[in-house]
Amino acid sequence: MLLNRDRANKAMGKKGLDALIASSPENIQYLTDVPGLRGYAVLPYDKNLEPFLITGINKNDVIVDSGTWIKDIRFSGAVYYWHYDPKVKLTGVEKILKDNVDSAIMDEVVPSGDVITQASMKELSKGLQARGLDKSNLGIEERGTTITQFKKLKEFLPEANLVFADDAFAYARQVKTEDELKLFEEIVHINEDGWKAICESAKPGVTEGELLKTYKKSVVSYGPEGAGVNYLAYLTIGNSSFAHNGVGMNRSAKLKRGDLISFNGGLVYKNHPIHMGRTAVLGEPENPKVNKYFQAILEAEDVGLETLRPGVKASDIYTIMMETARKTIPHYQRHHTGHSLGLGPGYDTPNFLANDHTLLEKGMVFNIEPTAFVEFGFGTLRLEDTLVITNNGYKLFTTTSRDIWRL
């Protein structure tokens, strides 16, 4: 389970909320363990009240396949085409699917993907009313709710106090559950295997594009069903500082001895994005600054790791890493030196920023990242590792060498 119920309740208690209402796909997944949904998921503060989910009937199969822990699921929206011959004996799964279709509130035809309809809002109101929450303090996501939807919700819930509660979701998600920690560890190892595959293929004459394909082939072929989708693979060779993922770019540059290979590869596995960074060199680097600069970056990460523990401010990690790197590279600059990981394409909170003074806690997951260090005419150095904060320090999920890989 992704949901840290005690922490979610603590977040609600701080804001005086009687329930949280998720309206974005990632926070609906956080509350239900089901990816890719639109609609509403409701978590009451009172643990004696049952959570519930409202979503489109077009996600019927996804819900059944997910094994979600939510029992009260309400479907609405238009269906495609369903037919049932009473003479045919249904399997267990098909019977569940049919029961869900039979229970769904069918709307008039709506634009594809639009499942937050008046029927959804009506079911939200009914679910809250059944739990005695229709006149209470309700926290809903701002980013998953349009202005029009918010106005309409106030019509359906005229006696409720609707407030935006994105910060409550962010707080709840900061500390991961054991299930989520196991998932992060598994993803990191898949990604490291992709980096190893790149290094094994790194021979004179191979192109950037071919190395990227090697990475993608490695990660998506993991396990019987594949690891997921390669959503981010930044790789450059030589002294290039244009380290983007190749959309519309010429990736025909060929690797030669002395070239740097700068890598930041990521994937989405079980709807969790993860990435890591490493640097390799084919033979000895042509530029004498490579070893000097990378050693400074490695020392910055080492100092950051030594400082990590519960109770330390996120901003303290940023400050000490920046000070360490600048002893060797006075012009070194980073907007952050690490970030939290979680659901969705963005970062969770907190992050290692100069102005983020959040205290670190056991169970927070970070990428510590003193790179990418980019210098025009020199190239790009990358070092990025995934870890979890423990009782007395940290545990690295990455297991591969953090030094420059000499190929």
State the architecture of 178-406 in CATH terms.
Alpha-Beta Complex (3.90)
Please tell me which residue, 279 or 346, carries the higher pLDDT value: 279
Q: Is the separation of the CB atoms in 324 and 404 below 8 Å?
A: no
pLDDT of 295 strictly over 80: yes
CA distance 184 to 174: 14
Say what the pLDDT of residue 80 is: 63
If you average pLDDT over residues 347-364, what whole number do you get?
95
Say what the pLDDT of residue 10 is: 97
> What would the two tokens of residue 133 be?
């929450």
CA distance 306 to 283: 31
Give the bridge partners for 313, in sequence order.
359
Nearest to 63 by CA among 94, 92, 34, 42: 34
The CA-CA-CA angle for residues 84, 88, 89, to 5°, reads 110
Say what the pLDDT of residue 266 is: 84
> What would the two tokens of residue 116 be?
């937050």
Domain residue limits, the chain:
5-174, 178-406
Say what the pLDDT of residue 112 is: 46
CA distance 151 to 183: 38
Please report which confidence band the pLDDT of residue 372 belongs to, taking 50, 70 and 90 as the band edges.
Answer: low
pLDDT of 278 strictly over 60: yes
Sheet holding 385-389, edge to edge: 348-351, 338-340, 365-368, 385-389, 394-396
Please tell me which residue, 343 or 154, carries the higher pLDDT value: 154
Say what the pLDDT of residue 83 is: 73
Please report which confidence band the pLDDT of residue 192 belongs to, taking 50, 70 and 90 as the band edges.
Answer: very high
pLDDT of 193 strictly over 90: yes
CA distance 258 to 289: 13
Please tell me which residue, 273 or 195, carries the higher pLDDT value: 195
Please report which confidence band the pLDDT of residue 102 belongs to, taking 50, 70 and 90 as the band edges.
Answer: confident
Say what the pLDDT of residue 113 is: 46
Q: Is the separation of the CB atoms in 54 and 74 below 8 Å?
A: yes
Please report which confidence band the pLDDT of residue 336 belongs to, taking 50, 70 and 90 as the band edges.
Answer: very high
pLDDT of 248 strictly over 60: no
Please tell me which residue, 102 or 154, carries the higher pLDDT value: 154
| pTM: predicted TM-score of the whole model, two decimal places | 0.88
Q: Is the separation of the CB atoms in 347 and 340 below 8 Å?
A: yes
Please report which confidence band the pLDDT of residue 401 belongs to, taking 50, 70 and 90 as the band edges.
Answer: very high
Q: Over the Cα atoms of the chain, what is R_g?
A: 24
Task: Give the homologous superfamily in CATH for domain 5-174.
Answer: Creatinase/prolidase N-terminal domain (3.40.350.10)
Say what the pLDDT of residue 240 is: 59
pLDDT of 3 strictly over 80: yes
Q: Tell me the DSSP string of 182-225.
A: HHHHHHHHHHHHHHHHHHHH--TT-BHHHHHHHHHHHHHTSTTT
* Torsion sign across C-alpha atoms 37, 42, 47, 49: negative
pLDDT of 196 strictly over 90: yes
Say what the pLDDT of residue 250 is: 67
If you average pLDDT over residues 325-329, what whole number do you get?
94
Please tell me which residue, 310 or 121, carries the higher pLDDT value: 310
Point out the least confidently predicted range of 7-16, 178-187, 222-231, 273-282.
222-231
Please tell me which residue, 308 or 332, carries the higher pLDDT value: 308
Say what the pLDDT of residue 275 is: 87
182 Cα distance to chain centroid: 14
Say what the pLDDT of residue 272 is: 80
Helices (H), 224-362: 289-307, 314-328
pLDDT of 363 strictly over 60: yes
CA distance 83 to 57: 15
Please tell me which residue, 374 or 393, carries the higher pLDDT value: 393
Please report which confidence band the pLDDT of residue 17 belongs to, taking 50, 70 and 90 as the band edges.
Answer: very high
CA distance 235 to 212: 7
Mean pLDDT across the chain, nearest whole number? 88
Say what the pLDDT of residue 214 is: 92
